[in-house]
Amino acid sequence: MEYDRPKDRRHPAASDDASRRLLVSLGGDVEMATATAVPVRQSRMSLSVAMVAVVAAIGGGLFGYDTGVISGAILYIKREFPTDNATEGLIVSAVTAGALAAAMFAGDLADRGGRRLTNIAAGLVFATASLLCAVANSVPTLVAGRFLVGCGIGLTSVGGPMYIAEVAPPRVRGTLVSLFQLAVTVGILLAYIACAILAPAAAWRWMLGLAAIPGLLLAVGMLFMPESPRWLVRRGHRTDARAVLAQIEPHGDPDAAVAQMERDLAAEGHGSWGELLEPSLRPALLVGIGLAVFQQVTGINAVIYYAPQIFQAAGFTSDLTSLAATTGIGVINVLATFIAIWLVDRAGRRPLLIAGVLGMIATLGVLGLAFRANAGGTGTSSLAVITAFSLAAYIVSFAFSLGPIVWLMISEIYPLRNRAQAMAVSTASNWGANFLVSLSFPLMASRLGSSATSFTYAAFGVVTLIFIIAQVPETKGKTLEEISRLWR
């Protein structure tokens, strides 16, 4: 693959304004070009590093698509195969089980085979699993296919953010890892749209099978991407690591960066699963696992997976309006993620987390009150309006805070030697909590009612806020090596 040619960009031609603009438009790292105080907007990253993030983020798109698509597909699967509640539950939750299992395995794969290989494997698993689902002619085959899809999600949710974080320069790391979450939200939205388009034909096989295409794209695209320089240093491939760093940070000092990574590794030694239990790693693990679990227990997937039911409970009586409202939620989820992309490396992680979680608590509180005021009723137009606005504001608050920043922080807070295993454990905790919330939501909504359910998630929001204020460090602008020293 051709990378930026740093020497070209240092050419004296860069000294006039038109040349600088040309360099910007070519996507090069133009800090050199903007060094003199000419009013050209400073580009903050090189084209090659942006490509790395975009390709790895395809996995995020598949994560979103495959978790979102089943709510539409299951309606038609049930018509083709005789299913009772237990089999239906199995088809839906096989993905979560697969994600949980593969997340644990992904840590070792990322350490032994490399970050790049983990993402290539994710792409291949997605492609194979999607095809298996599309041609499944029995429930066990379909469950196996969905379990495999989950394995792809587990591999990408560890391998994607870790790879991007290890390749990205510190000043744009937040933005680039947030692209992964942006892709998750786009994937969810595309799943809603695919279901709406394919529903009249009851084409559930296409709904599930279409994901094979981006799966292949991910695998093939990753073949052309460089390996993570941090992994290369860890494996002793110092020259290769230096070459990758020179490509992605044309104006950095690759020798100094490699030397720093080597010093840190020498001080830390090489990681093992057993080391996760050591006291020195506890503060980081507490933050990583805590954030991963709080992202789920504040109720996001009750909304993402069950939005049509919530809207119907609030008085959106026709299927069409509740479906339109649900698609609206998907669009808002995508758009609000841009707030994080824009601000995460400027304002920092903590301010966004605190503002977002405050917003989630407030909107869940309003929802709880609205549902309480309507207790026993069948939904009124004012309840419907309040619900729509509160849910939209809740999604906005999540999308610029817990959504992207959890994936970002669990990929940056751990020391290199334990990163793969610690990320695997954090990701598996996220999927475990996701499973419990999606399983318990219908039960809570029917037993406790919508109002108490909203208040429960709001209460978890309060705990999350206290946890963030007390425990979560700011990592903006620091190198991964500087972050790992925060815990010493």
CB-nearer residue toward ligand BGC: 295 or 453: 295
Q: Are the beta carbons of 235 and 386 closer than 8 angstroms? A: no
- For residue 197, give Cα distances in angstroms to 69, 136, 305: 12, 21, 18
CB-nearer residue toward ligand BGC: 58 or 300: 300
Q: Are the beta carbons of 364 and 458 closer than 8 angstroms? A: yes
Q: Are the beta carbons of 86 and 23 closer than 8 angstroms? A: no
CA separation for the pair 83, 143 (Å, rounded): 12
| Residues 234-253, mask of contacts with ligand BGC (x by CB under 6 A) | --------------------
Say whether 76 sits in a helix, a strand or coil: helix
CA-nearest of 453, 428, 459 to 441 is 453
CB-nearer residue toward ligand BGC: 33 or 182: 182
Q: CB burial class (10 A; 0-12, 13-18, 19+) of residue 319?
A: exposed
CA-nearest of 484, 144, 157, 130 to 296 is 157
Figure out which of the listed residues 304, 360, 367, 425 binds ligand BGC, where binding follows CB under 6 A.
304
Q: Which of residues 408-427 bind ligand BGC (CB under 6 A)?
A: none
CA separation for the pair 35, 28 (Å, rounded): 14
Strand segments (E) across 291-339? none
Interface with ligand BGC includes 289 (CB under 6 A)?
A: no
Figure out which of the listed residues 333, 397, 426, 438 binds ligand BGC, where binding follows CB under 6 A.
333
CB-nearer residue toward ligand BGC: 165 or 184: 184
Part in contact with ligand BGC (CB under 6 A); list of ranges 12-20, 84-92, 106-114, 298-306:
298-306
Cβ neighbours around 86 below 10 Å, total:
7
CB-nearer residue toward ligand BGC: 244 or 300: 300
Part in contact with ligand BGC (CB under 6 A); list of ranges 103-111, 114-122, 159-167, 299-307:
299-307
HSE value, Cβ hemisphere, 13 Å, CA-based, for 429: 21
Figure out which of the listed residues 434, 453, 456, 484 binds ligand BGC, where binding follows CB under 6 A.
434
Q: Which of residues 358-417 bind ligand BGC (CB under 6 A)?
A: 403
Q: Which residue has the tokens 């990574």?
A: 261
CB-nearer residue toward ligand BGC: 33 or 218: 218
Smallest gap from residue 229 Cβ to ligand BGC (A): 26
Number of residues that bind ligand BGC (CB under 6 A): 12
Part in contact with ligand BGC (CB under 6 A); list of ranges 9-17, 120-128, 130-138, 297-305:
297-305
Smallest gap from residue 307 Cβ to ligand BGC (A): 11
CA-nearest of 150, 203, 189 to 68 is 189
Interface with ligand BGC includes 181 (CB under 6 A)?
A: yes
Say whether 357 sits in a helix, a strand or coil: helix
Interface with ligand BGC includes 152 (CB under 6 A)?
A: no
Smallest gap from residue 67 Cβ to ligand BGC (A): 6
Interface with ligand BGC includes 300 (CB under 6 A)?
A: yes
CA-nearest of 188, 166, 178 to 405 is 178
Q: Give Rg (Cα) of the chain.
A: 23
Write out the DSSP string of 327-376: HHHHHHHHHHHHHHHHHTTTT-HHHHHHHHHHHHHHHHHHHHHHHHHTTT
Tokens, residue 348: 């920092």
| Residues 182-221, mask of contacts with ligand BGC (x by CB under 6 A) | --xx--x---------------------------------
Smallest gap from residue 378 Cβ to ligand BGC (A): 29
Smallest gap from residue 275 Cβ to ligand BGC (A): 26
Smallest gap from residue 364 Cβ to ligand BGC (A): 16
Smallest gap from residue 333 Cβ to ligand BGC (A): 5
Smallest gap from residue 404 Cβ to ligand BGC (A): 7
Smallest gap from residue 296 Cβ to ligand BGC (A): 6
CA 255 to chain centre: 32
CA separation for the pair 122, 111 (Å, rounded): 15
| Residues 51-70, mask of contacts with ligand BGC (x by CB under 6 A) | ----------------x---
Q: Are the beta carbons of 316 and 325 closer than 8 angstroms? A: yes
Q: Which residue has the tokens 């504040």?
A: 298
Interface with ligand BGC includes 156 (CB under 6 A)?
A: no
Figure out which of the listed residues 43, 175, 178, 301 binds ligand BGC, where binding follows CB under 6 A.
301
Smallest gap from residue 256 Cβ to ligand BGC (A): 34
CA separation for the pair 430, 97 (Å, rounded): 12
Part in contact with ligand BGC (CB under 6 A); list of ranges 130-138, 229-237, 293-301, 346-354:
293-301
Q: Are the beta carbons of 59 and 67 closer than 8 angstroms? A: no
Smallest gap from residue 196 Cβ to ligand BGC (A): 18
Residues in touch with ligand BGC (CB under 6 A): 67, 181, 184-185, 188, 295, 300-301, 304, 333, 403, 434
